[in-house]
Amino acid sequence: MLYQSAAQRGLIGNGVLASLDAGEYQRLFHLLRVVDLCAQQTLYTPGDRLQHVYFPVGCVVTGVAVMDDGATVETAMIGPEGVVGVSAMTDGYRVRYWTRVLLPGEALRVEAEALREFCEESQPCQTMLLRYYSTLISQVSRRAVCNSRHRLSERLCTWLLMVHDRAGTDDFPVTQEAVARHLGVRRAGVNECVGWLEDLKIIDHVRGHIRILRREALEAEACVCYPAFKAEARWFDGMAAEKNGGQDEYQRASASRGGNEHRSSRP
């Protein structure tokens, strides 16, 4: 049996599973199967009925909206902090977004129906999934604002930080073409921003790999959304508002930095 001992459980590395108490986890673990997800693997396409739910461990998955003209824009990013397909908790749910693997790696997979049945008997598991679902909706909502309000260079920095937070490594295989698809922009714009970050020696980009060289500098160039995205990726540590007397990270960042609108050297 997989991940039975506390030591093995500690190796799972998924925020939702790690947030369950030992008893709940012991009851759930035998429903889980370890799967290797490949880069660019499609997990769901729009209209699919959700068959499986995934708890990422070493992979990063994204939800992508596809327009009528084929244009794409990423709406959500899910890594080891979350659950892919959490909407399966609503019986009969059909997928609205194309869901693909951005960075390959392991995940723990469970049949959607089996998880629904488990949650009918496990209030703690249901509560944990709903709490994560709330965090995911918050991310999707903020991404919509970010996509329409912030400059491409800021959005690129924020996106790279979000990937970095979930990848667990400074170097990840992402092409500029893929970045453009995820940000919903032309590749020429991404090329210009990547070149700008390379000139500042903040990142390096070689043969389809991006390496983060100076994370603090990348954070300084990101849009004001990033602190909130970072807090949401650590939702299991407690919501940011609880730590800051009711003022969330987004509000704090906006108040302290006043946004990046006046920076002139960035593309």
Helix (H) or strand (E) holding 140: helix 123-149
CB of 161 to Zn ion, least distance (A): 11
Cα end-to-end span (Å), the chain: 53
Q: Both tokens of residue 230?
A: 């970072």
Identified binder of Zn ion from the candidate list 223, 228, 231, 240, rule CB under 5 A: 223
3-state secondary structure 186-237: CHHHHHHHHHHHHHCCCEEEECCEEEECCHHHHHHHCCCCHHHHHHHHCHHH
Cβ neighbours of 79 (radius 10 Å): 26
Is 182 a binding residue for Zn ion by CB under 5 A? The answer is no
Is 100 a binding residue for Zn ion by CB under 5 A? The answer is no
β-bridge partners, 155? none
CB of 225 to Zn ion, least distance (A): 3
* Segment interacting with Zn ion, rule: CB under 5 A, options 38-46, 60-68, 221-229, 248-256: 221-229
- Taking the least distance from each CB to Zn ion, the nearer of 116 and 151 is 151
Is 225 a binding residue for Zn ion by CB under 5 A? The answer is yes
How far, in Å, CA of 94 to CA of 55, rounded? 19
- Taking the least distance from each CB to Zn ion, the nearer of 149 and 187 is 149
Q: Both tokens of residue 107?
A: 């995940």
- Taking the least distance from each CB to Zn ion, the nearer of 87 and 138 is 138
CB of 2 to Zn ion, least distance (A): 39
Contact status, residue 86 vs residue 53, Cβ threshold 8 Å = yes
- Measure Cα distances from 266 to 44, 216, 254 in Å: 37, 17, 19
How far, in Å, CA of 135 to CA of 79, rounded? 13
- Taking the least distance from each CB to Zn ion, the nearer of 225 and 231 is 225
* Segment interacting with Zn ion, rule: CB under 5 A, options 20-28, 65-73, 181-189, 218-226: 218-226
- Taking the least distance from each CB to Zn ion, the nearer of 150 and 182 is 150
Per CB under 5 A, contacts with Zn ion among 124-153 are: 146, 150
Contact status, residue 93 vs residue 49, Cβ threshold 8 Å = yes
Contact status, residue 24 vs residue 47, Cβ threshold 8 Å = no
CB of 149 to Zn ion, least distance (A): 7
- Taking the least distance from each CB to Zn ion, the nearer of 212 and 225 is 225
CB of 30 to Zn ion, least distance (A): 41
* Segment interacting with Zn ion, rule: CB under 5 A, options 81-89, 130-138, 216-224, 228-236: 216-224
Q: By rule CB under 5 A, what count of residues binds Zn ion?
A: 4
Q: Both tokens of residue 244?
A: 């800051």
CB of 222 to Zn ion, least distance (A): 8
Binding footprint of Zn ion on the chain (CB under 5 A): 146, 150, 223, 225
